[in-house]
Amino acid sequence: MRAQVRYTYQDYLTIPEDTSRRHEIVDGELFVTAAPRFRHQRVVRNVLRALDTLAVAHDLGEVVSGPVTVHLHDEGVVEPDVIFVQADRMGIVDPDGGVHGPPDLVVEVLSPTNRDYDRTLKRKLYMAHGVAELWIVDADEGTVEVWRPGAREPEEVRDVLAWRVGGHRFEIPIEELLRS
């Protein structure tokens, strides 16, 4: 009987950079997915633009788009579409590497090939390892699922998304995120 290979963060570090694929480790299993398509990246850009404008204007922290390596634990390394780290938590960011710990916000934009993966495996990983808020953007359905620790079901947003950070509350119209 063959032993199952369990991948770790150290294994991840040995993978050559490859902009045509994303490499992630979830519960010790290596997942390799194709680079996102144009529509996906357009939504990522819109999310990044909306969040970054607010973060800069209110000195909240840093917003970056992926791929960026997020090291949640030894057998949990992911490349989210967009992350936000509050200013007082920037110590988890390695400017020459990735993020070592849970971002305050993770945004995943669904694609036809990653819908189940992002909604199940990655969502469970994020929630189990301290991500304060996860947005799963479904451009096909025109919705954003908002997940927070302990939630059994997401808050499903169709009109205006509320982003709460640093004592602020911002409203972001979903149509702004999905704009072509």
pTM value surpassing 0.85: yes
Q: Read off the pLDDT of each residue in 8-35 and give the average, rounded to a whole number.
A: 91
For the stretch 101-140, pLDDT in tens is: 999 999 999 998 889 999 999 999 999 999 999 999 999 9
Q: Taking the C-alpha atoms of 95, 74, 87 and 23 in order, what is their torsion angle to the nearest 10 degrees?
A: 60
What domains does the chain contain, in order, with CATH numbers? 36-178 (3.90.1570.10)
98 residue type, one letter: G
Contacts of residue 15, Cβ cutoff 8 Å, sequence gap at least 6: 23
